[in-house]
Amino acid sequence: MYSPEPIGIHPEPMAEILEPRIRICLISGSIRPGNYTSMAVNVAMEALAGHPGIGVDLVSPENLDLPFPGSGRETEDQSWLKDRVKSATGVILATPEYHGSFSSVMKLVIENLGFPSLLSGKPVSLLGVAAGSIGAIKSLEQLRSVCSHIGAIVLPGPVSIANVRDTFSAEGDLVDETVRKRIERLVQQHLDYIESHVCPQYALEAMVRQTN
């Protein structure tokens, strides 16, 4: 079973480690060795590292035992995945484009988040990669539709990376600074939405609890 510890971008060095006020869950929708989706997710993680106080959980499904929907089987990895998404303030989903749609791996992850989905009410940003010149537009449109159907708050401005083989080096390094800026903008817009809409709601709920 693969159950990595949550990644705190800016952990406290000594005794008491405070829970981050904002926690972002990044989910990669590819299990292919050396996949470009995970490379794009790494760039998003680097962007999040520039924001103090942000906690990050990375979900890499290649090592997760996730049951097929309807099988009636439950696994510890499924529970781990649910815990990561449930505790997240926001979620970033990244998928390759396969046969004009998002990956079956991403669909399996979504199916394992329950009914009603744990993505319901969560701010969700979308990131797609494709080898072709038109990018991952089709996969992102379909992923947006699914996420909206299950109640996620899908944020505008998804990032579609085209010609992905030319965008990353063989070592997995991003070589296109324009793409880096687009991913950084995706992350910033995600955090801006949380700061403007989610954090005030948390503060109001805390005030109500104190007065009761």
**At residue 208, does pLDDT exceed 50?**
no
Report if residue 130 sits inside a domain.
yes
- Please report which helix (H) or strand (E) contains residue 212, including its range: none
Q: Looking at residues 111-124, what average pLDDT do you find?
A: 97
User: pTM of the entire structure?
Assistant: 0.86
- Distance in angstroms between the alpha carbons of the first and the last residue of the chain: 42
Which residue range forms the structural domain that includes residue 26?
A: 7-211
Report if residue 2 sits inside a domain.
no
Residue 116, preceding bond cis, omega within 30 degrees?
yes
Strand partners, 101: 98
**At residue 17, does pLDDT exceed 90?**
no
Whichever domain contains 79, its CATH number is 3.40.50.360
Number of domains making up the chain: 1
Q: Max Cα separation, the chain?
A: 58
Report if residue 1 sits inside a domain.
no
Report if residue 65 sits inside a domain.
yes
User: Which of 14-23, 35-44, 190-199 ranks highest by mean pLDDT?
Assistant: 35-44
Report the alpha-carbon distance of residue 124 to residue 190 in Å, rounded: 8
SS3 assignment, position 123: strand
Report if residue 60 sits inside a domain.
yes
pLDDT in tens, 127-173: 999 999 999 999 999 999 999 999 999 999 999 999 999 999 989 99
**At residue 91, does pLDDT exceed 90?**
yes
Q: What percentage of the chain reaches a pLDDT higher than 70? A: 85
Amino acid letter, 94:
A
